[in-house]
Structure formats: C-alpha cells, structure tokens
Amino acid sequence: MRALAFHGRRDVRVDTVPDPTIRHPTDAIVRVTSSGLCGSDLHLYEVMAPFLDEGDILGHEPIGIVEAVGSEVTNLAPGDRVVVPFNISCGHCRMCEDGLQSQCETTQNREHGMGASLFGYTKLYGQVPGAQAELLRVPQAHYGPIKVPEGPPDDRFVYLSDVLPTAWQAVEYAQVPDGGTVCVLGLGPIGDMACRIAQHRGARVIGVDLVAERLARVAAQGIETVDLSGVSELGDELRELTDGRGPESVIDAVGMEAHGAPFAKLAHRMTALLPDALSAKLMETAGVDRLAALNAAIDMVRRGGTISLSGVYGGMADPLPMLVLFDKQVTLRMGQANVRRWVDQILPLLTDDDPLGVDDFATHRVPLEEAPAAYGRFQRKEDGTVKVLFAP
C-alpha cells in the first residue's frame, strides 16, 4: 500500500509499504477513504523527531470502510463505514469507564510514563502505524471505531476522529458560565472549531490570531476577532472588551507553536540539531516550549476564571508563573481529548442542517501523493491552509 512515512525533520514521503494484517483478535483493517492533517502532526514534522524512527507512518484522523475484523470484534463487519478515534482505548478499564479514554489502562505506555496509545504518534505513544495511508490496522476495534451512515460525504463525519471531540473537550474544560465570554487563542483547526462550538452553545466568543485568512474565516461565522499583529498588549485589549476584567474562560489552542519566548525558541530549535538521544533527553528534562500563548492566557483570564489547554506542550520543566496563577485563583484544565466520551453529544449536530459547518470546514482536499507538499504549506501557513484532507 501507499503511506506517508517520516524520514527526518521536515522530510515526509509517500512510500510503498506492506499492507497491514490482523495481528490480534480485537483488530480490524480499515480501507481509508479520507484522512486529516492535524496541527499536532506538525510537532512530528518539526520538533518531535527524536521520538520517531525513519519509516514511521503518520496520521491519526481517518474515516473509511472496514475490510476485515478479528474474531473478537462482533460490533463491526466488512463494509461498515467507520470513523476511527485518534486515541486507542479498550472501553472496559477503569479509565475508560470514567470517560478518560486517553488514559486507557490497556494501551497506556507505562515504559515512557505516558497515556493511551495514539495512531501515528511517536514511541512515547506506542509507535502505532498511522492513518495517512491506504489501509489502517485498528487495535481495540471492538470499542474504538464509530459507525456512521452511508450517504453524506466524508467531510460530514471525519472530524469525529479528532477535531470535533478535541474542540468540544476544550470548550467543556473552559467551563464558560452562562452568558460568559471565552477567548480562543489560535484559529487553526481546533481553535476555529472551538469557536464554532462555543458560539453554538451560547457563549460570547473572541478569536485571536495573526494570520489574516484565519481571522477572516472565523469572522465569517459571526465571531468577534482580534488581530494579534495589530495590538501591543493582548491582555489589555481583552480586558477592554470585557468590562476591564478579562474573559471568564480562555482556550489555548496554540501550544508549542506559539510565537515569542526567545530562549524556549532556541531550545525548540536545538532539539532538531542535536543527536536523537540528546534531543529526546532535552525534551524530557528541560523547558523547551514557547509559552507565549499560555502566558497570554494567564494574563488575560478573569480572576477566578478557567484556562483550557488543547494545544500540545512538550517540555517537562517549562516555567509557569505560579504566583500569578495562585493569586488570580485560576483553574487549569488540559489533556488529550477523550474521543468516545463526547461522541454521543456531537453526533446529533452532524445533520444536514450542519450547525458547526463541517461540510465546508476543509480548506484543501488533496491526493495522498501530494501530502509532503501539503505539510510544507500547512507548516508555513500558506495558501489559506487551515484544514487538509488526504484522499488515499
């Protein structure tokens, strides 16, 4: 089959690799019909290289058709149309029963002290071959895959794999009070969708970015926007828009991609220059993140407010302004999305009325063979690239 494989920092290629096979009774094989390019894939493209091997298959946002199932998979049959969540969870351990599928005890990566395995996402998370491919082996298929109806295009359901539950959890964790205001930092795919979800649920939403096309895209949904490049002090700007207090809730949908923080920027780049063993150690023990977005969230959030982190951070010793967090009585909530926890709440919105605008959410649909170029455009934020779907 053809699949997108990692070959080094900013070097991904579409290779011919062996077809996956059933390895365990709880496996399924899915023929991928669409697969998304995620902002967190850029972390692999850029800074997470020490935790990848050459040839690792990337991607974790698939929809497709079941081709084969293991003997213990009784809920699926060949021909079923399914969306596959990006985290791999069993459905019966204590964590899954508590709605924390991203911490599944069956697929936890205890060797590295990490949570549930993820598709296409480094040795830290199981090194499971990913979904930017023609075929995908799906472990724990007795629980994970979400059956969806035939008929609507892939765009209607594919975002159940990651974008929708990640944005939904970001809004849930933000704890926006009735009639309250939430500021969303970063208007990439997750930030954009979080704005739409928060607006749909009745919040006042203010989206912040510095890419003109992304600001315009969110503004077209009737959402207030702030162009970061046009303000000197973002916190002051947000306080001015919210009676001098700041928003009750802030969603950081940027993470380690944020601009600013020169020392952390240097450390970020060093991980790409050092040998893998040293680079991995730097990330595991040092502060390598560019914390501009998180620091901005801490500054602007109203006293007693909540910050929800959906952007990925990678350092083990990143400095936080604990005095400010304590003094302001700020609540921090974060973590990988627990996909299956939110599916039943999201599915009723994926109707022909399309209140969240999923049908035209993708900005680019390209053949898998063009994936390397699409990664580059997405990383450079060129050509209005916000959400890319690959067709294997």
pTM: 0.91
Geometric angle at alpha carbon 99, from 97 and 100, rounded to 5°:
105
Nearest to 373 by CA among 390, 360, 359, 356: 390
- Residue 200 Cα to chain centre, angstroms: 20
For the chain, residues classed under CATH 3.40.50.720 are: 164-334
Q: What is the pLDDT of residue 48?
A: 72
CATH 3.90.180.10 fits 2-162+338-391, yes or no: yes
pLDDT in the model for residue 262:
41
H-state helical runs in the chain: 41-46, 94-97, 163-174, 189-200, 212-219, 234-241, 262-273, 276-285, 292-300, 322-328, 339-346, 371-380
Query: CA 357, CA 83: separation in Å to the nearest integer?
Result: 18
140 with 85: CB under 8 angstroms?
A: no
pLDDT at 212: 93
| Cα three-residue angle 230-231-237, rounded to 5 degrees | 135
Which CATH class name applies to 164-334?
alpha beta
**pLDDT score for 265:** 47
> Looking up tokens 């059933």, which residue turns up?
22
Quick: pLDDT tens for 341-387.
999 999 999 999 999 999 999 999 999 999 999 999 998 889 999 99
Could you read off the pLDDT of 77-128 as tens digits, one per residue? Answer: 999 999 999 999 999 999 999 999 999 999 999 999 999 999 999 899 999 9
Q: Which residues of the chain have pLDDT under 50?
A: 258-268, 270-271, 273-274, 278-279, 281-283, 285-288
Q: Where are the domain boundaries for CATH 3.90.180.10 in the chain? A: 2-162+338-391
